[in-house]
Amino acid sequence: MRVVTFKLDEETVEKLNRVAEMLGISRSELIRAAILNYIREKAVGGTRVKRVLL
């Protein structure tokens, strides 16, 4: 798996930590799931995103 680095404000990191802990998964797993869900949602109605994914 490839490492991708980005910046988040402290409040968002704390929220991620809390949700990940509640779900019993790592913060990385939560972020991956959130990104994939976002892509799937946008691909359903967005032709532009569909073309990129195909």
Half-sphere exposure of 45 (CA within 13 A, CB side): 3
Stretch 16-37: mean pLDDT, rounded? Answer: 96
DSSP 1-54: ---------HHHHHHHHHHHHHHTS-HHHHHHHHHHHHHHHHHHH-HHHHHHH-
Q: Given this model, what pLDDT does residue 40 score?
A: 84
Domain boundaries, the chain: 10-53
The pLDDT > 70 percentage for the chain reads 80
Q: Given this model, what pLDDT does residue 42 score?
A: 77
Residue given tokens 């409040």 in the structure block: 11
